[in-house]
Amino acid sequence: MELIPTQKRTKNMIKKFSISSIFAQLLLLIFVFVWIAPSFGLFISSLRDKDVLAISGWWTSFTTTDVNEIYRTEGMESQVEENGYFIIKGKVFEEGSGKLISRFGVTSKNIDEFEVGEIAVFKDGSEISIDKTGNYFWRSKEKFTKKKGKRIFISASSPPSFTLDNYKEVLLREGLGQAFINTFAVAIPSTLIPLIICSFFAYSLTWMRFYGRDLLLATVIAALVVPLQMSLIPILSIYNDIGNLFGVAAKSFPGIWMAHTGFGLASTTFLLWNFLKSLPNEMMEAARVDGATHYDTFIKIVVPLSIPAFASIFILQFLWVWNDLLVGLVFLDKHPSEIILTAKLKELLGSRGENWEILTTGAFISMSVPLLIFFSLQRYFIRGLVAGSVKG
């Protein structure tokens, strides 16, 4: 039944190469462009050199640009004597930079005095020449006596260049690596615990008979839309009381797991209940008649059948917890050993607001796991959303 409409649709698509179709394609292309440009810009920026990033837009990074740079040559230690001359050789760029020099100079007053291939003379009479790729040849009749080399000024064209330096910097020095691990330590239990307890809960709401079942179900449906702001103050005060009473930290990983479990409980239960309802009643009845307990039925029949539903719910809850900021701010310390990625990112926005190389890279690291899940498990993600996710 599914197949027939799909085929018809395909036919419709192919036969329409009219003006309206071109217009539709153009419109969609504009939408796609507007929607992808922000993330794309962030990604490209995270791969750019931080000095270039601060002075030019990311869209310029795909074309060759002209740059003016200053280098210092090697000093006296690397000189060799040849044919009565003292010579220092070297390279101004690192290997493989791809930059091409057009002009150079030896004084700050005239930084593009010479063309490549010409010989420049320093005040002390020594001569230097440089080729396009940055190899220089500096010779003098006198012995070089200074430890520091001389400055040379370069006008070069720089091809598009990208680097992973920002990632190294952010992961190791800015503490995002630890925050990344912390976020996993929050997200995995905060996803699995509700899944475990809600699957039993949803099972009992669907297949067990007991007094007050309808009321309980109605409570879950009401809880679906209760904003979590309603819970923050009372729970924080419970946690503080527990902390004082037993002399433990009020803000801890188990604390935030349970908070996330609480806030995700209604939606997880509701989605599972919706799914379990659709399983055939006869199957459960048959198992019961054969003498299986509810626990056996749950483990041996319901769980295997529910794997796709579990996958959808796992992804929804995992992404929700991973991306959450508010719960993490309220129930976890801002100490490096507890801070989560989103809170860390917010902190960087405050303290390193102008260091775009750190912000863009940090943001991309925080997005890496959700994006990975998104691209590999998109089907389950969409299925979960379509199944009617209303989160409290």
* The two three-digit tokens of residue 175, written as one number: 């503490």
258 binds another protein (CB under 8 A): yes
Tokens (6 digits) for 66: 């002209």
Is 287 a binding residue for another protein by CB under 8 A? The answer is no
Q: Of residues 324, 331, 339, 355, which one binds another protein by CB under 8 A?
A: 324
Binding flag, residue 125, another protein (CB under 8 A) = no
Compare residues 106 and 224 and give the one whose CB is closer to another protein: 224
Beta bridge partners of 140: 86
The reply on whether position 303 binds another protein by CB under 8 A is no
Rounded to 5 degrees, φ, ψ at 83 are 45, 40
Nearer to another protein, 171 or 192 (CB): 192
Beta carbon nearer to another protein, 62 or 295: 295
Choose, by CB under 8 A, the member of 120, 355, 366, 380 that binds another protein: 366
Residue with tokens 């109605």: 218
CB of 42 to another protein, least distance (A): 5
Element containing residue 153 per DSSP (H, E): strand 151-158
| Per-residue x/- track, 6-35, another protein (CB under 8 A) | --xx--xxx-x---xx--xx-xx--xx--x
Dist. CA 156–CA 102, nearest whole Å: 5
What is the number of alpha carbons within 13 Å of residue 313 lying toward its C-beta?
Answer: 28
Q: Considering only residues 194-253, where is the footprint of another protein by CB under 8 A?
A: 196-198, 200-201, 203-204, 208, 210, 214, 216-238, 253
DSSP per residue over 62-86, as a string? Answer: GS-EEEEEEEE---GGG-EEETTEE
Nearer CB in complex with another protein: 305/373: 373
At 248 the three-state DSSP class reads coil
- The CA radius of gyration of the chain, in Å to the nearest whole number, is 32
The stretch near another protein (CB under 8 A) out of 78-86, 122-130, 140-148, 323-331 is 323-331
Q: Please report whether residue 339 would count as binding another protein according to CB under 8 A.
A: no
Q: Which is nearer to another protein, 159 or 388 (CB)?
A: 388
Residue list 47-76, contact with another protein (CB under 8 A): 53-59
* Nearest Cα to Cα of residue 128 among 82, 86, 99: 86
User: Does 274 engage in binding with another protein (CB under 8 A)?
Assistant: no
Q: Are the C-beta atoms of residues 119 and 127 closer than 8 Å to each other?
A: yes
Among 41, 75, 90, 175, binds another protein (CB under 8 A): 41
**What is the chain's percent helix, strand, coil content, to nearest 5?**
60, 10, 30
Which of 64, 78, 102, 293 is close enough to bind another protein by CB under 8 A?
A: 293
